[in-house]
Structure 1
Amino acid sequence: MQGVWRELAGLILPVACAGCGRPRTELCGECRRALARDGRGARRVRPRPEPAGLPRVWAGAPYADEVRAVLLAHKERGALRLAGPLGEVLAGAVRGLRPGGGPLPLVPVPSARRSVAGRGHDPVRRIALAAAGALRKAGEGAGARVLPVLRQRRPVADQAGLSARQRLVNVTGAVEVRGGAARLLTGQPVVLVDDLVTTGATLAEAARAITAAGGRVTGAAVVAAPGSAFEIDVHRAVDRGMEFPHGR
């Protein structure tokens, strides 16, 4: 219920811009334009070291400044209306992954049930729905839809602070296709989507689950990735204590 209460409170209480702190707006025009600019600069992401089975990954923006602040506000503080502008950035990553190829169904990386219950919403699914809407609005076909077919089959530890190796061990075998959903994936090419990539371990595990169910992952698109050139030095990012949303 956290997200719902925030939405109701925002109607009667002063709010501050998630990007810069400017009062009386959840996202000011300047920060909204900054996100739009970042969303037009989608680029290929290559974590180092790269986990086995990681599909091609494109990120819509660097995980810094307004993008980082808005992602954290949406995911950790329940600012639900920020899903729209974040979805626009994710749509840019999908376009970068498939230039001229048309959209494919988007499969969100699953969140833990306890995380969804604690936050009052599923942030990745919400952003994915916004991205699909943005792609359809741009006239990019009815194929821009969301297939929430993945779930966590066992609990995993919070990824924050774990090394690349620890993250890989933490998520291995943790994701599966929901019962009865495999029929939606048989022979179906899909794009995995997430809000953030660091080591790539979670995306690799999600791709494994899709492939095991008979689907085909053509790539992955994320809102953001750390690193100005999107070449992620995983050890450096973790060692610097960069603030990441919990659970990834």
Structure 2
Amino acid sequence: MRRWWREFTGLVLPAACGGCGRPRTELCAGCRAALLGAAPRRVRPAPEPDGLPVVRAAAPYENAVRAVLLAHKERGALGLAGVLGSALADAVRAGAGCVRGAGPLLLVPVPSARRSTAARGHDPARRIALAAAAELRRTGTPARVLGVLRQQRAVADQSGLGAGQRRANLAGALEVVDGSGRLLAGGRVVLVDDLMTTGASLAEAARALRAGASADAGARWKNTGEQALRAAVVSASPSAFEINRN
């Protein structure tokens, strides 16, 4: 039992820092600062896909931040979800004042491919979104997670695909669960994900949300311009920060 417990705690509470690998049970001060130390900024990929909402990111996808995200996503370091959720909450908060409407913030995670979720044993974006919503509530901002997006067809593995190939791979891949329009009408919608590289996933998720809201006869929530929907991610490609054109 002791050996089993050590193996289990190694997954949920890593013995080494998830960023630099130093012996710790949480992120060291330097890696935490890399993730949470700067104000979230607007990010834009190049080329920018059609329909991409305004996106804010907490930190560039490099060095310690990249290591932390990979440890959570691919190596099952689930204990890192809390600090990643704090970073996502910062990015959500940075853009929340521009989100139209009233009510709580509704964090809509971009769903992982079913095959990826099965292989990893969890959906990283959803787990981080739940942690972000909890952090927002803890600091006085009403928020909850709405898992209203789902895959309606299989997609290929995105790794190794270029920006255009990713857009083609994801085109029409997502849909909104029937009857979600009223849920989306109950607050200010923010699309969330752990990482943005080309922006293809967020653009497809935004398309599906727009189509779902328009198709639901009872939906008050609409998205007809960039001011009506926002997105937030933990991290984005460093070049997306450089192209920032606020």
TM-score bucket of the superposed structures, by smaller chain: 0.7 to 0.9
Q: Report whether the alignment pairs 1:230 with 2:229.
A: no
Structure 1 equivalent of residue 110 of structure 2: 109
Structure 2: unaligned runs, 5 residues or longer: 214-220
Contact map agreement 1:48 1:231 (CA 8 A) in 2: no
1:5–1:99 distance in 2 versus 1, CA, 3 Å = farther
2:53 match: secondary structure = coil
- State the shift of 1:218 in Å: 1.4
Please report the TM-score for the alignment, with normalisation by the length of structure 1.
Answer: 0.82
2:23 match: secondary structure = coil
Please report the TM-score for the alignment, with normalisation by the length of structure 2.
Answer: 0.83
Q: Report whether the alignment pairs 1:8 with 2:19.
A: no
- State the shift of 1:232 in Å: 5.8
AA partner of residue 193 (structure 1): V
Structure 1: unaligned runs, 5 residues or longer: 234-248
2:105 match: secondary structure = coil
- State the shift of 1:228 in Å: 5.9
1:148-178, Cα deviation, whole Å (9 max, x unpaired): 1001111111111111110100000000012
2:145 match: secondary structure = coil
Bigger drift between 5-14 and 80-89 goes to 5-14
Structure 2 equivalent of residue 238 of structure 1: none
2:126 match: secondary structure = helix
Bigger drift between 8-17 and 58-67 goes to 8-17
1:162 match: secondary structure = coil
Structure 1 equivalent of residue 36 of structure 2: 36
Contact map agreement 2:19 2:68 (CA 8 A) in 1: yes
Residues 132-147 of structure 1 correspond to what in structure 2 (within 5 A)? Answer: 132-140=133-141, 142=142, 144-147=143-146
AA partner of residue 210 (structure 1): L
Structure 1 equivalent of residue 78 of structure 2: 80
Matched length: 226
- State the shift of 1:186 in Å: 4.6
- Paired with 1:125 and 1:7, the residues of 2 have a C-alpha distance of 24
